[in-house]
Amino acid sequence: MKNILPVFEKALNISNRRQFKEIFGEGSYSKVNKIYYSGQKKAFVVDVTLYTNYPELLSDSYEVFDDFISNAWGYIGLKENLIIVKNFDLIS
């Protein structure tokens, strides 16, 4: 579990890449800021920022980002519960 952050970030940005670009715009990507385990909630907490140049696309796809995160979590083979903290920012 020590090196989970870079593996998870790669899975999030690579899996379903075509759909990701269609929904959030060309050049969009995600950065995983941190992952930690909450003993109180008995779940992993992932803090993820989505970077895009198309903020107008976010209003209709805010919930879809959760699906991408959850799918990437399962893609790397993790079964533990997940709490998602997400942020959005413009690509500078």
pLDDT digit string (tens) for 44-53?
Answer: 999 999 999 9
Q: What is the side-by-side order of every strand in the sheet holding 29-38?
A: 29-38, 43-52, 82-90
Segment 18-32, tens digit of pLDDT: 998 889 889 999 999
Choice among 4-8, 22-26, 35-39, 53-57 with the minimum mean pLDDT: 53-57
Q: What is the pLDDT of residue 2?
A: 61
How many domains, in total, are found in the chain?
1
Structure tokens at 72: 């990437």
Range of the domain at 42: 4-90
* Mean pLDDT (whole number) for 51-73: 87
Q: What is the pTM of this model?
A: 0.88
Beta strand 82-90 pairing with 29-38: unpaired
